[in-house]
Amino acid sequence: MRPLCAEIRLDRLRENYQTLKQIHGGKMLAVLKADAYGHGALRCAHALADIADGFAVAFLEEAAELRRGGIANPIVLLEGVFEAAEYAEVERLNLWPVVGNQWQLESLLAHEWQKPVQVWLKMDSGMHRTGFFPHEYAPAYTALAQSGKVAAIVKTSHYACADEEERGMTEMQTEAFDLACAHLAGEESLANSAAALAYPQARRDWGRAGLALYGIDPFLGHDPRFKPVMRLVTEIFGEKVLQPHEPIGYGASFYTKRSTRVGLAAGGYADGYPRRAATGTPVAVAGRRSRILGRVSMDMLTLELADHEGIGSEVELWGDTVDINEVAAAAGTIAYELLCNVKRAKFVYIQ
């Protein structure tokens, strides 16, 4: 069998959750959208079910998968519904929808609820994606509160720049949120992973942690408080020694300078390993850091071997020895995208 394997360490997922909840205080949603950032949503949900205050997914179908799989924790729909008819399923599955625009609000109020629904009312505090503008927020809140259809309203907003060095934008968004919420009762939720770590004033009743839950430092460094959950590993299945001045791979983009042992590893861009990670991108061969040589192919990639390494040697593409943030930087992208793209690998869950 092809050796490409995504090891998912569920014990680490639990530790990361506890760490984040402790740092943030209050309650913490484990964000499981996009198949838990590529880790497998249902498996992650079961691993967290006894400790998680709730889960968050992007849309109804993602939540339905968790409910079908036996998950009973609260589930927030971060994008809310896409059609009015979905509110019937929201009710049947006991989900907490975000309401982020006028038609979501009006169709929620038009639905015949058997029992009042818990709503997360979203403010656009400056990111300008979804949510009600601050000046529209109190009217939206009041319409929900007075409808008799809503059990509770959690006031929420999302930051555009919480993982960046420049702090002004996040502070401005927090002020805009607080000003517009000044006289509105209820719980609040502001912080994603980065904000939970870097902005004490963003820690409210509910945090919403994604990236750091999976053990990745949102500030692109390496935060020892969080342990990478995924380890993407494969094996060397071919080796050869090339003379100096020989090309490797598509486009002959790399030439050896000296006699070089080259290993061929199972894993390529069809598996989600980024094609833009070319010569020099770190990999680890049996725990020793090495580097990719030449271009990444669809199903395989080539890397530099030491003398004692060869066929059968383990290759870590990212995980413990190679931080996924390093691979993302080499490929001009972010860890989120790499995690979500993993496919064709065998997923092995470790308790």
- Pairwise CA distance, residues 58 & 38, whole Å: 14
Measured from the CB atom, the residue of 193 and 234 that comes closer to ligand PLP is: 193
Sign of the dihedral defined by the CA atoms of residues 181, 183, 185, 187, in that order? positive
Residue 298 marked ligand-binding: yes
Which range in 65-73, 89-97, 190-198, 322-330 contacts ligand PLP by CB under 6 A?
190-198
- Both tokens assigned to 209: 């942690």
Which range in 210-218, 235-243, 296-304, 324-332 contacts ligand PLP by CB under 6 A?
210-218
Judged by CB under 6 A, does residue 80 bind ligand PLP?
no
- Both tokens assigned to 139: 């009217």
Measured from the CB atom, the residue of 98 and 283 that comes closer to ligand PLP is: 98
Residues 20-59 that bind ligand PLP (CB under 6 A): 31, 33
Which range in 107-115, 145-153, 187-195, 275-283 contacts ligand PLP by CB under 6 A?
187-195
Indicate the DSSP class of residue 200: G
- Both tokens assigned to 217: 């430092």
Tell me how far CA of residue 237 lies from CA of 174, 199, 267, in angstroms: 52, 47, 11
Query: In this chain, which of 154, 198, 209, 236 binds ligand PLP, going by CB under 6 A?
Result: 209
Active site residue 250: yes
- Closest residue (Cβ) to ligand PLP? 210
Judged by CB under 6 A, does residue 208 bind ligand PLP?
yes
Size of residue set near ligand PLP by CB under 6 A: 12
- Both tokens assigned to 59: 């849309």
Query: In this chain, which of 28, 78, 117, 230 binds ligand PLP, going by CB under 6 A?
Result: 78
Active site residue 37: no
Beta strands in 25-67 (DSSP E): 27-31, 54-57
Residue 279 has φ and ψ, to the nearest 5°, of -40, 130
Tell me how far CA of residue 231 lies from CA of 12, 18, 282, 313, 349, in angstroms: 11, 20, 14, 16, 11
| Helices and strands in the chain, H and E counts | 11, 18
Minimum CB–partner distance for residue 306 and ligand PLP (Å): 36
Residues labelled catalytic: 33, 250
The residues of the shown chain that bind ligand PLP, judged by CB under 6 A, are 31, 33, 78, 158, 192-194, 208-211, 218
